[in-house]
Amino acid sequence: MAKQKPVKPARPDLAPPPEKRGLGALLASLLVETRSVMPAAGATGLSLVLVIAAMCFLASLTLGAALSVGHAARSWTSELAGALTVEIKPSRDMDSETQLDAVMTVLSKTPGIITARPLDREDIRALLEPWLGQGKVSDDLPLPTLVAISVDMANPPDIAGLSLEIAAAAPGALLDTHRQWQAQLLRSARTAEGFGYGVLAIVAATTIAIVTFATRAGLSANHEVVEVLHLIGARDRFIAAEVQRHFLHLGLRGGLIGLALSVLAFMGAGYSGETDSLFLVPVWGLRVEIYPWLLSVPIAASLVAVLTARITVFRTLEQML
Amino acid sequence: MIRFENVGMRYGMGPEVLRDVSFHLAPGSFHFLTGPSGAGKTSLLKLMFLAQRPSRGLITMFGRDIATLPRDELPTMRRRIGVVFQEFRLLDHLTTYENVALPLKIQGRNEDSYRADVHELLHWVGLGERMKARPPTLSGGEKQRAAIARAVVAQPDLLLADEPTGNVDPEMGQRLLRLFVELNRLGTSILIATHDHALVSSAGLPELVLQNGGLIVRG
């Protein structure tokens, strides 16, 4: 079939002038325009961005808090686990200096011990003051001698063997492993950490559900576009790619807005000058190394939006001939 | 080129809207499709632009039985068919230029390769000054012309138009008819569904008449 088009001289010079936009329209277009054939600054596009921004804000806050709690719990337990104390009670069989020398000799020969420092009388007095009151510790009060030990956690000593050696070396000397404290603190820290991750799981699941529903709503508002593209001969792959690109952009924008707000919130808390902690979360802000983890929130939200859009659009297209 | 043999169609479990429809459109032919409202004109067009499957009968398009055509070959076939929808179905968020260029864009063509052609066609249908306008700001007649331009821009083998002169004055109706005749002269087969008896009689072309779900060929 011979084909020609109705001919008139081509007039590429008649390219329409760029559309003029106000500041509001420019902002709206920056938020929702995606250079796809899908509608840009539609009400559904904007509301999807806002919903994703709000959910990502909450998810980033929760993730930051959960990571902080986890980090705090781990650092406390490792600090505690890396410390031992030898308590040397006065004995009739050996004077205190000989006791201390015997203990220090054992400690210096034991591998896996980084430092062993006898606390002087002032240190011990300071430790007792909270219980006995300032100035109540008289010089003739018999005080135990304490040795603070820090342990190489990568290569820890044999605690049971060390305990026996110390007891044998000096009567009245006792190795305190803080095990009772450690177990209790570890339990509380793990509970707090578990609670943090539990809240994070709930917020993440809610975010996924809301982003999924919002994406579906956005896509059903664009059903006409999908159908027209289909009827004029667009392949499913083309339509899906356009739809995915559209929702990837909307998802990333919403996610980054939410992330920025949460970072501002954490930093704002830092500048508020508070130095207290709120349920293990230091409210003066997040540790620097946690911030990169927050990036996973907008990425995950965009992926959820893209996957939902892809699955929904293929399902819609399958129902069409 | 298009052959319908004993085609019947129903929506869901409803009554048959088309019954034992048989006809043949030869390459380069020009037909009108007429009949009272509700006779099934739009349903027949939907079968022809592959938006619906028949409930029974055989439809052959461009030598292929559409019942056995794999789904991934349908887009290629749809690209050979230009459609002017009754309600235009322009995309409101795209400009007139983007709407008209859409069939070329979905083929993956580079915009530089078709920009001048689309501008030309828009001038030809009288929308040269409205390229940047979006459909909500176009009049009924302008939308119709944009829809027609979109249907013909990819130079289809078959043009299906549902009431393409329904929203324009008789003068513009005649002008659009001349566009269709010109396209037909260049090799495109044309089927126009219309209520406009004046248009049909002035053209003096064969007519497919739908009545009570059945079809007769006149002229």
Q: For residues A195 and A278, state if they share a domain.
A: yes
Q: pTM of the prediction? A: 0.70
- Work out the end-to-end distance of chain A between its first and last CA atoms, rounded to an integer number of angstroms: 28
* Strongest mean pLDDT among A10-14, A134-138, B13-17: B13-17
| A9: chain B residues, CB-CB within 8 Å | 120
pLDDT digits (tens, 9 = 90+) for A176-209: 877 777 777 778 877 877 887 888 888 888 888 8
Best mutation site among B1, B106, B130 for testing chain A: the one with the most A CBs within 10 Å? B106
Domain-embedded: residue A180? no
At A19, is the pLDDT very low, low, confident or very high (cuts 50, 70, 90)? very low
pLDDT of amino acid A35: 57
Q: Are B154 and B102 in contact (CB under 8 A)?
A: no
Q: For residues A233 and A123, state if they share a domain.
A: no
- Residue A124, pLDDT > 90, answer no
| B59: chain A residues, CB-CB within 8 Å | none
- Can you give the residue range of the structural domain that contains A127? 90-171
3-state DSSP percent of chain A in helix, strand and coil, to 5: 65, 10, 25
Sign of CA dihedral A72, A78, A79, A80: positive
Instruction: Give the total residue count for chain B.
Output: 219
Domain-embedded: residue A177? no
What SS3 state is found at A59? helix
Residues 31..60 of A with a Cβ closer than 8 Å to B: which?
A: 37-42
Domain-embedded: residue A2? no
End position of a domain, from candidates A116, A141, A171: A171
CA distance A36 to B52: 28
pLDDT digits (tens, 9 = 90+) for B75-119: 999 999 999 988 889 998 889 999 999 999 998 888 899 999 999
Would the CB atoms of B93 and A39 count as touching at under 8 Å? yes
Per-chain mean pLDDT for chain B: 89
End position of a domain, from candidates A138, A171, A204: A171
Residue with tokens 């006809």: B23
Domain-embedded: residue A94? yes
Would the CB atoms of B187 and A1 count as touching at under 8 Å? yes
Domain-embedded: residue A176? no
C-alpha pair distances (Å), A22 with each of A19, A29, A40, B83, B95:
10, 10, 16, 37, 18
Q: Which of A20-24, A83-87, B5-9, B213-217 has the lowest mean pLDDT?
A: A20-24
Q: For residues A287 and A161, state if they share a domain.
A: no
- Residue B204, pLDDT > 90, answer no
Q: Are B83 and B151 in contact (CB under 8 A)?
A: yes
pLDDT of amino acid B175: 79
pLDDT of amino acid B165: 78
Would the CB atoms of A15 and B93 count as touching at under 8 Å? no
pLDDT of amino acid A157: 81
Q: Which of A15-19, A133-137, B70-74 has the lowest mean pLDDT?
A: A15-19
| B157: chain A residues, CB-CB within 8 Å | 1
β-strand partners of B4:
B23, B59
- Residue A224, pLDDT > 90, answer no
End position of a domain, from candidates A171, A193, A220: A171
- Stretch B178-188: mean pLDDT, rounded? 88
Distance of CA A244 to the CA centre of its chain: 28
Nearest CA-CA distance, residue B119 and chain A, Å: 7
Q: Which of A19-33, A76-90, A245-259 has the lowest mean pLDDT?
A: A19-33
pLDDT digits (tens, 9 = 90+) for A154-183: 787 888 888 888 888 888 888 887 777 777
Q: For residues A57 and A201, state if they share a domain.
A: yes
CB burial class (10 A; 0-12, 13-18, 19+) of residue B181? middle
Nearest CA-CA distance, residue A3 and chain B, Å: 6
Share above pLDDT 90 across residues of chain B, in percent, rounded to a whole number? 45
What SS3 state is found at A140? coil
| Nearest chain B alpha carbon to A40 | B93
Which residue in the set B95, B116, B150 is minimally distant from A10, CB to CB? B116
pLDDT of amino acid A168: 86
B175 vs A: CB within 8 A = no
**Which one is predicted more confidently, B184 or A109?**
B184
Q: For residues A154 and A233, state if they share a domain.
A: no
pLDDT of amino acid A3: 47
Q: What residue type is B158 in one-letter code?
A: L
A92 vs B: CB within 8 A = no
Domain-embedded: residue A4? no
- The per-residue DSSP string of A154-185 comes to TS---HHHHHHHHHHHSTTEEEE--HHHHHHH
Q: For residues A114 and A142, state if they share a domain.
A: yes
Nearest to B41 by CA among B147, B202, B164, B140: B164
Q: For residues A67 and A98, state if they share a domain.
A: no
What SS3 state is found at A151? strand
A142 vs B: CB within 8 A = no
pLDDT of amino acid A16: 40
pLDDT of amino acid B33: 92
| A38: chain B residues, CB-CB within 8 Å | 93
Would the CB atoms of A14 and B92 count as touching at under 8 Å? no
Q: For residues A107 and A233, state if they share a domain.
A: no
- The per-residue DSSP string of B24-76 comes to EE-TT-EEEEE--TTSSHHHHHHHHTTSS--SEEEEEETTEETTSS-GGGHHH
Would the CB atoms of A14 and B51 count as touching at under 8 Å? no
Q: For residues A198 and A167, state if they share a domain.
A: no
Q: Are A75 and A287 in contact (CB under 8 A)?
A: no
- Residue A2, pLDDT > 80, answer no
Q: Are A238 and B106 in contact (CB under 8 A)?
A: yes
Q: Please count the structural domains in chain A.
A: 2
pLDDT of amino acid A6: 47
B195 vs A: CB within 8 A = no
| B132: chain A residues, CB-CB within 8 Å | 16-17, 19
CA distance A74 to A53: 31
| B155: chain A residues, CB-CB within 8 Å | 3, 5
Nearest CA-CA distance, residue A318 and chain B, Å: 9
A319 vs B: CB within 8 A = no
pLDDT of amino acid A191: 85
Would the CB atoms of A234 and B75 count as touching at under 8 Å? yes
Nearest CA-CA distance, residue A274 and chain B, Å: 50
- Residue B186, pLDDT > 70, answer yes
Q: Which of B8-17, B43-52, B160-169 has the lowest mean pLDDT?
A: B160-169
Residue with tokens 């979109």: B150
Question: φ, ψ for residue B88 (rounded to 5)?
Answer: 70, -50
Q: For residues A244 and A308, state if they share a domain.
A: yes
Share above pLDDT 70 across residues of chain A, in percent, rounded to a whole number? 79
Q: For residues A301 and A235, state if they share a domain.
A: yes
Tell me which H or E stretch contains A291.
helix A291-294
**Which one is predicted more confidently, A216 or B66?**
B66
Would the CB atoms of B105 and A37 count as touching at under 8 Å? yes
At A116, is the pLDDT very low, low, confident or very high (cuts 50, 70, 90)? confident
Q: For residues A204 and A277, state if they share a domain.
A: yes
Which residue in the set B91, B93, B119 is minimally distant from A14, CB to CB? B119
B131 vs A: CB within 8 A = yes
Q: B30-34 and B16-25 as β-strands: parallel, antiparallel, unpaired?
A: unpaired
Nearest to A77 by CA among A186, A196, A187, A226: A186
- Residue A25, pLDDT > 70, answer no
Domain-embedded: residue A167? yes
Strands (E), A168-310: 173-176, 277-278, 281-282
Domain-embedded: residue A209? yes
Nearest CA-CA distance, residue A75 and chain B, Å: 55
pLDDT of amino acid B78: 92
Which residue in the set B79, B120, B188 is minimally distant from A8, CB to CB? B120
pLDDT of amino acid A24: 67
Residues 10..69 of B with a Cβ closer than 8 Å to A: which?
A: 27-28, 49-53
Nearest CA-CA distance, residue A2 and chain B, Å: 6
pLDDT of amino acid B98: 93
